[in-house]
Amino acid sequence: MIPVLRPDIDEQTTQELIAVLKSGWWGQGQKTFDFEKQFAEYVGAKYAIGCNSGTAALDLCLKVYNIKGGELITTPFTFVADAIVGEWNDMDVTFADIDEDSFCLDPKSIVITDKTKAIITVDSHGRLADIDGLRDKFKGLIIEDAAHAMYTPGAGKKADITIWSFQAVKSLPTGDGGMITTNDDKIYERLRTLTWLGVEKNTFQRVGAKRYTWDYDITQADGLKAYMNDLTSVIGLGQLRRIDELTAKRRAIQAVYNEAFKDVKEIKIPMYSHTCQYYTMKCERRDELSDYLASNEIATSVHFKPLNMMSYWKKAEKRELKVNNRVWKELLSLPVFNTLKWTEVEKIIRCVKEFYAR
């Protein structure tokens, strides 16, 4: 079966990972700090703080800005992480509608009230969210979820704070992991303690210290156990080193699919994405096409079944979600990943065209 997504590691990174495994230190350490530093440079932020997931990173963004209660506006067209962190921080979650082509939150559909305390907007499928449009309507905290926008120029530049995800099928996978980027010195300092249950000195610094290596202080009961470790960070460093190669392959596959499907009348090719986290096209008879491809050993997926279709999250559908409720039924994600062979791409295209020619 050709999967929708598959992570890839090169020989150099494998050797570097083995070296960390044998080094006697697997926790948060120099590899984590190197990854944070290089990641911050790569996305053009002053600081990057490694986390053990994108979800933890989102939760900590609300916590570090002391957001507790009030309304969180987010998109229903995403993974549940963006909504659940609102509930974890006693917020009332409201979904707003998405744009027809980018699938990002549509600023026109946002209704700000006295209760609105934060917006989480997603760079959906690697396309930049309209943060200027949101900012025109809302002066409070805007969190950018750039989990899909690893290679997209401009991601992480306009919101108050940004999160990233290195989960196993993302475009910079480390197994699991996340990052928060910020330009704010105080937010950065506080995030350091919040990623370790409020502890004010990390183990690595304690081990490196000359005296009283056991000593540290706790002055708050905030935070999570959420920092990154050297095993995942060394994988992240390897992926970052190969970023041009990984990006180029995804974009090349996107271009080949676009060219192949541009004249298929049952398909609408997706809006361009620099990262191409998913190649998600609009197509007729979506479920039948998915079954047909599966019978030819080609996996597909739907990104996303919207959150307001989930039993628990129906309650957050308080306003019209016309675009969201319509477009997801037409969407199908085809395989796109670095090690996808060109013969496999050809097979996928052939099978899609065969299906519509039947």
Q: From the CB of 267, what's the least distance to ligand PLP, in Å?
A: 24
Residue 123 corresponds to which amino acid?
D
Give 165 or 273: the residue with its C-beta nearer to ligand PLP. 165
The helix (H) or strand (E) run that includes residue 19 is helix 11-23
- Whole-number Cα distances in Å, 202 to 173, 218, 318, 333: 25, 11, 43, 41
Rounded to whole angstroms, the Cα distance separating 352 from 289 reads 7
Count Cβ atoms below 10 Å from residue 13 Cβ, excluding itself: 18
Q: Is 109 in the site for ligand PLP (CB under 6 A)?
A: no
Contact 293, 347 (CB under 8 A): no
Q: Is 236 in the site for ligand PLP (CB under 6 A)?
A: no
Pairing label, strands 331-334, 116-122 = unpaired
Q: Is 145 in the site for ligand PLP (CB under 6 A)?
A: yes
Token pair for 147: 């989990």
Please, which of residues 60-79 interact with ligand PLP by CB under 6 A?
78-79
Token pair for 285: 């008879």
Q: From the CB of 82, what's the least distance to ligand PLP, in Å?
A: 6
Rounded to whole angstroms, the Cα distance separating 123 from 148 reads 6
Q: From the CB of 53, what's the least distance to ligand PLP, in Å?
A: 3
Q: Which of 7, 76, 86, 178 binds ligand PLP (CB under 6 A)?
A: 178
Give 84 or 252: the residue with its C-beta nearer to ligand PLP. 84
Query: Phi and psi (nearest 5°) for 35?
Result: -65, -45
Q: Is 122 in the site for ligand PLP (CB under 6 A)?
A: yes
Q: Is 82 in the site for ligand PLP (CB under 6 A)?
A: yes
* Interaction mask 279-298, ligand PLP, x per CB under 6 A: --------------------
Going by the DSSP 8-state scheme, the letter that residue 278 receives in this structure is -
Q: Is 147 in the site for ligand PLP (CB under 6 A)?
A: yes
Q: Which of 81, 85, 172, 253 binds ligand PLP (CB under 6 A)?
A: 81
Number of residues in contact with ligand PLP under rule CB under 6 A: 14
* Interaction mask 16-55, ligand PLP, x per CB under 6 A: -------------------------------------xxx
Q: Is 148 in the site for ligand PLP (CB under 6 A)?
A: yes
Give 50 or 54: the residue with its C-beta nearer to ligand PLP. 54
Q: Is 233 in the site for ligand PLP (CB under 6 A)?
A: no
Q: From the CB of 164, what's the least distance to ligand PLP, in Å?
A: 9
Closest CA to 324 of 20, 95, 48: 95
Contact 335, 276 (CB under 8 A): no
Q: Which of 165, 202, 229, 333 binds ligand PLP (CB under 6 A)?
A: 165
Cis peptide before 337 (omega within 30 of 0): no
Closest CA to 74 of 129, 150, 151: 129
Give 53 or 102: the residue with its C-beta nearer to ligand PLP. 53
Q: From the CB of 73, what's the least distance to ligand PLP, in Å?
A: 15
Contact 98, 77 (CB under 8 A): yes
The sign one gets for the Cα dihedral 115, 118, 122, 128 is: positive
Q: Is 126 in the site for ligand PLP (CB under 6 A)?
A: no
Q: From the CB of 122, what's the least distance to ligand PLP, in Å?
A: 5
Going by the DSSP 8-state scheme, the letter that residue 187 receives in this structure is H
241: helix, strand or coil = helix
- Site of interaction with ligand PLP (CB under 6 A): 53-55, 78-79, 81-82, 122, 145, 147-148, 165, 167, 178
